[in-house]
Amino acid sequence: MKENYTGKPANRVDGRAKVTGEAKYAAEFNVPNLLHGVVVNSAIAKGTIKSIDTSAALQLAGVVQVFTHENRPGYTWLDSHYMDEDAPPGSPFRPFYNNQILFSMQPVALVVAESFELARYAALLVKVEYEAQPHETDLESNLPRAYTPKKYKSPPPTDPRGDADTAFAQATFKVEEAYAHPAHHHNPMEMHASIAIWHEDGKMTIYDKIQGVQNSQKYISTAFGIPQEDVQVLSPFVGGAFGSGLRPQYQLFLAVLAARELKRAVKVGLTRQQMFSFGHRPATVQRLALGASAEGELEAVKHDAIAETSRFEDYNEDVVIWPGVLYDCENVKVSHQLVDLDVFTPLDMRAPGGVTGTFALEVAIDEMAYQLGIDPLEFRLKNYTNTDQNKGKPYSSKELKECYRQGAERFGWSKRKMEPRSMKEGHQLIGWGMANGAWEAKQQEAAAKAVFSPDGKLTVSCATADIGTGTYTVMSQIAAETMGLPLEEVTFKLGDSTLPKSPLEGGSWTVSSVGSAVKLVCEKLQEQLLEQARKMENSPFKDANPEDVSFAEGRMFLTQAPAQSISILEAVQQNEGQPLVAEASQKPDKNQKNYSSYSHSATFVEVMVDEDLGTVKVTRMVSAIAAGRIINPKTGRSQILGGSVWGIGAALQEHTVMDHRLGRFMNHDLDKYHVPVSADIHETDVIFVEEKDEIVNPIGAKGLGEIGIVSIAPAIVNAVFHATGKRIRELPITLDKLL
Amino acid sequence: MRPFTFTQAPDIATAVQEVSSDGAKFIAGGTNLLDLMKIDVMRPSHLVDITQIALDTIEETEQGGLRLGALAKNADTAYHPLVEARYPLLSHAILAGATAQLRNMATDGGNLLQRTRCYYFYDTHTPCNKREPGSGCSAINGYNRDLAILGTSEHCIATHPSDMAVALAALEATVHVTGKNGDRAIPFADFHRLPGDTPHLDTNLQPDEIITAIELPAKGFAQHYTYLKLRDRASYAFALVSVAAALDLDGDSIKEARIALGGVAHKPWRVPEAEALLQGQPATRENFRKVAEAYLQGAKGYKDNTFKIELANRAIVRALEQATKMEAIA
Amino acid sequence: MSPENAPGTAAAQRPTLPETRTVTLRVNGTSHQLQIAPWTSVLDALREHLQLTGTKKGCDHGQCGACTILLDGKRINSCLTLAVMQENKEITTIEGLAKNGELHPVQQAFIDHDAFQCGYCTPGQICSVIGLVNEGKAKTLDDIKDLMSGNVCRCGAYANIVQVAQEALERNTGL
């Protein structure tokens, strides 16, 4: 690819809309006669609803209806009709299905009223009587119930390689420890909301907070038996999601249910408290056993994870793949088991599995480096792998060594003394730690449409999403680059289910998937432009083939004779005043199968830990990232900075606390569930290491949504060890753990 | 939120009259009241807006102290030149709490009347003696990492969330109130209550009484003070433990010491007998340790908060050291 | 500010509707008359009644700062105050910052520094930076970070937001 518009920092094309308040999120569309729905959630974690008394609520003038399992219409209740694109194996949760309570804060009623305030009040008047049954929500005490799921959501753990048990038993140096990662909730700033608009012809228009409008469209279509073409889902702006919008959440179902029954437009927005009533990053316990030779070669790795899931779906994520991705070792054995609990099904959350697994692995690696007395970076270099050990395939590119080199240099790692508690300023113990990480660079099938109008404006579209990742901007850049048009002439449309097919926006694959489709559709448009150009009198392109022609600065020209050029506008105007339209679908190239593709990161961290009070401050951080081509270094840097903030949160603050007596998450608001604030964030340096990859996808970009977070928390844990000599194996590192 | 009627009181007399009706509450900054009304923890049927009453002045008293009008905003108080100059401990404590936005809204009187942030108090689906007397305390055997270690009862282990109140306790402020029976001045130590068997009562204010002012005595400990707040993130979080420390030093010798703890009890925690141990003593770490031990006499840890005993102990020592040296607070 | 032991904390309630009244709010220099009950917050008045959805709801409890507006030039959480209590005040929201199509310098700086990703906390962050300048209390970098900590950004754009705030303070670009 050329680099006139890509590879350069560009301001977000949707920036103006976002800084003026004009960008509209799901709950913000002004619909006439809109009804407001407020959800009532269950007080218990398991049992049955004995009765629901909605009479007091219904007495209020302006309360239109209260929906419960008792009066919901009889829709299809087949599991398959509730399976969305991101559903794990099992039986999806169906709101208001029956009187069974499957988890605490399960939606049990929807109050619909003429105003939000009234619906909120009426919701308090709904009286629900329960018959509680004993529940289980504690992963630790239920570990003996761990089972191997019949079917894994993500690829099953790989078969053992070599003989890890024997190699571990015979190893000179051993680390064998357990690591605990708590439950996290996504908590995007925008709370989930949906507006469902019923039309007289039975069609529905829906505004939804979702990472894939077509996922919501299909879900509503099958769950309610509405033809897919009669459901249009719109989501032009998403106020963060981080995975919470991968699956349609219950407010969507309830808004549609109410709108269809009442033949009105209905908005259902969740409260911040209710943002804790659906998916979360699962609590996971891991056991790592590493064996190494006296020379510092990894001889055995055993990595076993046990994670929570719900009673109705078997959710799992890639927790135990990381030893095979990151290290060269002949004897490896991994396992991933589940414990089903009375909770909602866990849900992919920024770098699912990567955050959890890398934490345990990278802390264990640091522990081994200390046993061996080898610098942790040196130890990683000794065990570097150029092949993906899980798949037995070479990497399509891997510049992790360059990440180490540039990151270490920027940070000043060579000045580090190995021994813990070797640096101090006043009461502050200073520690330096590092970790590395990886994230798979996948490409999914995606389609795009391009419309080039006679006024020279190019509109490219795809039903993808921009959850803050910069999709609007980078797709515009890719289209501008391919077409040789100024960025201002290009508009990218997304977030509309009628647009060409898109995968969910997740997995860091949007640039690779949608970007590749955008590139392809623009190339198709170029062919059409060439056809038009050939029609012109004395056309220099009469005998030109597509591969002979280049596009730049608003002109098309013969690559071998750049002086032979016309403006693109002239070419499009040959089409008798009609726009040129192209559509294309891009699938991953078969050659990709011969390789493994991952982005990589190396993070170096400085912490200050108060020797008496245990407070931890991350004073300095350098993350070096190798992620192929960086389409927009400005928005890309922001993604990595964001990942760093998430890593600090995971390391030091975030945990959703369950009261197991109640089976209920108790810190269900932003006062009690801590995420980092401005005062927690100090020097953060981002380095993008150059990495050329012509195999990974036609764009050569690996995605940046997740690679920025995975190595942060373990680097902080390792830095805290270096500062204090204390090894913390249970996140988050709150001050009480360091007293 | 449930419906309520609403009036604006033009003066104190009307306010007192209005609030005497069944289910009535005052509203000023509203930052905690509306928070709690939205989740149905507070259910007033009538709100009396007192923000039209001229109670927001900050002025010097004849005794050389300072009188903070009950409706003075937290931010205006913290940044008031006289507070900054003469009661920097108070200024620092206020600024350690909440956020710029909330401090621009919240009033000094309202700050004292904040409710606990106990998880269970905030969730109406759980038993809580403070929210619903007699229903039981979910926290004692539940998740109690943030909760009290001192002055608890079998009925409640909630903490008082205010930072400002901790400094006011150390400074021995007086709370002026007016009710149907006239005016009263309540010493700060007597303003908040321990839970005992009436955890639903946070303070000794009567239902018909309005706070009119908070009075600071002349002595402000402006030379040697610190407000040390330990929490789970660097800003915008309630204290796990906080210490307001104020010293009156004569060279290395302590003439008078004041210490109040936040985040550890149902009220700002002071132990005057323990403070007295420092009187006439040199300001040494050893002496600070002794007073810290004395302060935590009788402290009782629960399942998740036992660490607070050691943390409070160390925090007292650190705060006294900082107050002595007045070095930049790390 | 009445004590919590006042009766009515948990009084039995009849299901009755609150009476509405006419409330006049001055928003971005324009007076709006609303027929609302006292239970409507300024935030809901803006978003649901005036269709000024630029001010965001991120928690509705003063725990995130997405609803930050300027009230007589100072930052407040619009979710925690009643509309009925803010008559005769000058309310400035994100919609009132650009003049004649020209962005306020802080808005432009947010774009230039890429100080947002999803954009949902952004209107509150922008109002907060302007409030920070107006209030004039931030002297150091640590002050800025602390005084901007009332605006949570889950995307984690803090480093860039702080740069905007530093620049705004240097250039004194308040209201």
- C125 Cα to chain A: minimum distance (Å): 10
pLDDT of residue A122: 98
What pLDDT, in 10s, does the model give residues A134-177?
999 999 999 999 999 999 998 999 999 999 999 999 999 999 99
A134-150 burial, b if ≥16 CB within 10 A, otherwise e?
Answer: ebbbbbeeeeeebeebe
Contact call for B30 and C81, based on CB within 8 A: yes
Q: Tokens 């259910």: give the residue.
A: B43
Minimum Cα–Cα distance from A648: chain C residue: C156
The full set of domains in chain B, from first to last, is: 5-49 (3.30.43.10), 226-325 (3.30.390.50)
Residue in A310, A442, A301, A307 with CA at minimum distance from that of residue A361: A301
Is the model's pLDDT at B330 over the cut of 60? no
List chain B residues with CB under 8 Å of A659: 119, 126, 138, 142-143
Other beta carbons within 10 Å of B297:
10
Give residues 75 to 94 of C whose Cβ lies within 8 Å of B: 75-77, 79-82, 84-85
* Domain A31-134+192-271 coded CATH 3.90.1170.50: yes
- Look at B233 and A653 and tell me if their CB atoms are within 8 Å: yes
Residues of C in contact with B23 (CB under 8 A): 6-8, 11
Considering the entire predicted model, what is its pTM? 0.98
Task: Using the predicted structure, report yes or no on whether residue B44 has a pLDDT greater than 50.
Answer: yes
pLDDT at A4 over 90: no
| Token pair belonging to A283 | 């609590």
Write the CB contacts of B284 (distance below 8 Å, at least 6 apart in sequence). none
Residue B327: per-residue pLDDT: 74
User: Cα(B134)–Cα(B199) distance, rounded to whole angstroms?
Assistant: 10
In this complex, do C152 and A11 lie within 8 Å of one another by their Cβ atoms?
Answer: no
**Cα dihedral angle (C105, C110, C112, C116), rounded to 10 degrees?**
-170
- pLDDT of residue A387 exceeding 70: yes
CB contact (8 A) between residue A28 and residue C47: yes
A124, pLDDT greater than 90: yes
**In this structure, which topology does domain C21-96 adopt according to CATH?**
Ubiquitin-like (UB roll) (3.10.20)
Report the percentage of chain A scoring pLDDT > 70.
100
Ramachandran assignment for C14, one of left (phi > 0), alpha (psi -120 to 50 degrees), beta (any other): beta
Q: Select which of A362, A367, A505, A706 is catalytic.
A: A706
CATH number of A15-21+454-587: 3.30.365.10
In the prediction, which pLDDT does C12 show? 46
Judge whether residue C3 has pLDDT over 70. no
Residue B5 is given by DSSP the state E
- Checking DSSP bridges between strand B241-250 and strand B225-230, what pairing results, if any? antiparallel
HEC string of C98-159 equals CECCECCHHHHHHHHCCCCCCCCCHHHHHHHHHHHHHHCCCCCHHHHHHHCCCCCCCCCCHH
Q: Per residue in C123-156, pLDDT tens?
A: 999 999 999 999 999 999 999 999 999 999 999 9
- Contact between A638 and C157 using a beta-carbon 8 Å cutoff: yes
Q: How many CB atoms lie within 10 A of CB C94?
A: 29
Q: Which CATH number fits domain C105-171: 3.40.50.1010, 3.90.79.10, 3.40.1030.10, 1.10.150.120?
A: 1.10.150.120
- Closest residue in B to C5 (Cα) is B201
Let me know: does A341 contact A308? Beta carbons within 8 Å: yes
In degrees and rounded to multiples of 5, residue B179 shows phi and psi of: -140, -170
Q: What is the rounded (10 degree) CA torsion for A459, A461, A466, A472?
A: -20
A433 phi/psi in degrees, rounded to 5:
-140, 160
Out of A11, A28, A641, the one facing C159 most closely (by C-beta) is: A641
What average pLDDT does chain A have?
Answer: 97
Q: Is any Cβ of chain A less than 8 angstroms from the Cβ of B117?
A: yes
CA-based nearest distance C145→chain B, Å: 9
Which residues from B are below 8 Å from A615, CB to CB? Answer: 230
User: What confidence score (pLDDT) does residue A215 get?
Assistant: 98
Averaged pLDDT, B297-311: 98
Respond yes or no: is residue A706 known to be catalytic: yes
pLDDT tops 90 at residue A75? no
Q: Put residue B207 in one of left, alpha, beta given phi > 0 → left and psi -120 to 50 → alpha.
A: alpha
The SS3 call for residue B137 is coil
Identify which of B123, B232, B233 has the shortest CB distance to residue A666.
B123
Q: Report B:171-210 residues touching C (Cβ under 8 A).
A: 200-203, 205-207, 209-210
pLDDT band per the 50, 70, 90 thresholds, residue B328: low
Closest residue, chain C, to A269 (C-alpha)? C57
Contact B39 A273 (CB under 8 A): yes
Task: Give the span between the Cα atoms of A698 and C104, in whole angstroms.
Answer: 40
What share of chain A in percent tops pLDDT 90?
A: 98
Whether the CB-CB separation of B225 and C25 falls below 8 Å is answered with no
Q: Is A557 exposed, middle or buried (0-12, 13-18, 19+ CB in 10 A)?
A: buried
Average pLDDT over residues A287-291: 98
Contact B44 C9 (CB under 8 A): yes
* pLDDT mean over C6-31: 76
A629 pLDDT exceeds 80? Answer: yes
Q: For residues A495, A499, A501 and A503, what is the CA-based torsion angle, rounded to 10 degrees?
A: -10
Q: What is the DSSP track for C38-52?
A: TT-BHHHIIIIIS--
Give the pLDDT score at C2.
40
Q: How many CB atoms lie within 10 A of CB B187?
A: 11
Tokens representing residue A222 in the block: 């099958």
CA distance A635 to A641: 10
Q: Does A670 touch chain B (CB under 8 A)?
A: no
The closest alpha carbon to A351, from A448, A247, A440, belongs to A440
CATH of domain A164-184+280-442+594-738: 3.30.365.10
Buried b (16+ CB within 10 A) or exposed e, A563-581: eebbebebbbbbbeeeebb
N- to C-terminal Cα separation, chain A: 54
Count of H helices and E strands in chain B?
12, 11
Q: Which partners does chain A have (≥3 C-beta pairs < 8 Å)? A: B, C
**Rounded Cα distance, A59 and A111, in Å:** 12
Least CA distance to C99: which residue of chain A?
Answer: A20
The enclosing H or E element of A292 equals: strand A284-292
Are C148 and A678 in contact (CB < 8 Å)? Answer: yes
Whether C4 and B98 lie within 8 Å, measured CB to CB: no
- In chain B, which residue's Cα lies nearest the Cα of C88? B52
Tell me the residues of chain C between 26 and 45 that have a Cβ less than 8 Å away from chain A: 37, 39-40, 44
The closest CB to that of B35, out of C61, C68, C85, belongs to C61
Chain segment B156-202, per-residue pLDDT in tens: 999 999 999 999 999 999 999 999 999 999 999 999 999 999 999 99
- Determine, for residues A638 and C39 on separate chains, whether the beta-carbon distance falls below 8 Å: no
pLDDT, tens digit, for every residue of A673-729?
999 999 999 999 999 999 999 999 999 999 999 999 999 999 999 999 999 999 999
From C160's Cα to the closest Cα of chain B, the distance in A is: 18
Q: What confidence score (pLDDT) does residue A2 get?
A: 82
The amino acid sitting at B249 is L
Which run of H or of E encompasses A52? strand A47-53
The answer to whether C2 contacts B210, with C-beta atoms less than 8 Å apart, is yes
Domains of chain C, by residue range, sit at 21-96, 105-171
Length of chain A in residues, anyone? 739
Which tens digits make up the pLDDT trace of B86-138? Answer: 999 999 999 999 999 999 999 999 999 999 999 999 999 999 999 999 999 99
* Alpha-carbon torsion (B38, B40, B41, B47), positive or negative: positive
- Under a CB-based contact definition with an 8 Å cutoff, are residues A390 and A321 in contact? yes
CB contact under 8 A, C63 and A30: no
d(CA A683, CA A657): 30
B231 to A293, A466, B182: CA distances (angstroms): 43, 35, 40
pLDDT of residue A1: 75
Query: Which of residues 71 through 110 in chain B touch A, CB cutoff 8 A?
Result: none
Tell me if chain B has a CB within 8 Å of the CB of A178: no
Contact yes or no for C85 and B1 at CB 8 A = no
Nearest to A21 among C123, C148, C150 (CB): C123
Pairing label, strands A332-341, C90-92: unpaired
Q: With an 8 Å Cβ cutoff, is C146 touching chain B?
A: yes
Indicate the DSSP class of residue A282: P
Q: HSE (CB half, 13 Å, CA atoms) of B154?
A: 1
Please tell me the distance from the alpha carbon of residue A530 to that of residue A575, in angstroms, as a whole number. 11
pLDDT at B72 over 90: yes
Q: Which two tokens stand for residue A333?
A: 């054995």
Residues of C in contact with B34 (CB under 8 A): 41, 79-82
CB A697 within 8 A of CB A703: no
Angle, CA B104 vertex, CA A270 and CA C30 arms, to 5°:
75
Q: Write the residue in A671, A680, A735 that is nearest to B117 by C-beta.
A: A671
Task: Identify from B232, B285, B302, B320 which residue to disrupt to test chain A contact, counting A C-beta atoms within 10 A and taking the largest count.
Answer: B232
Cβ atoms B20, B26 nearer than 8 A: no
A734 → closest Cβ in B1, B122, B232: B232
Beta pairing partners, C40:
none
Q: Where are the alpha helices (DSSP H) in A157-203?
A: 164-170
Using alpha carbons, select from B31, B36, C8 the residue that is nearest to residue A273. B36
Beta strands in A371-512 (DSSP E): 387-388, 393-394, 423-425, 428-440, 446-452, 458-461, 490-493
C6, B79: Cβ pair inside 8 Å? Answer: no
Q: Which residues from C are below 8 Å from B94, CB to CB?
A: none
Q: Do domains A31-134+192-271 and A164-184+280-442+594-738 have the same CATH topology?
A: no
* Chains contacting C (3 or more CB pairs within 8 Å): A, B
Domain residue spans of chain A: 15-21+454-587, 31-134+192-271, 164-184+280-442+594-738
Q: pLDDT tens for residues A87-116?
A: 999 999 999 999 999 999 999 999 999 999
Cα–Cα distance list, B188 to B75, B112, B240, B266 (Å): 21, 10, 22, 14
Cβ separation B101–C149 shorter than 8 A = no
Q: Which of residues 79-138 of C touch A (CB under 8 A)?
A: 93-95, 97-98, 103, 107-108, 110-112, 114, 116-123, 126
Neighbours of A469 (CB within 10 A): 30
Mean pLDDT over residues C99-107, rounded? 97
**Residue C170 contacts by C-beta under 8 Å, 6 or more apart in sequence?**
none
User: Alpha-carbon distance C68 to A38, whole Å?
Assistant: 24
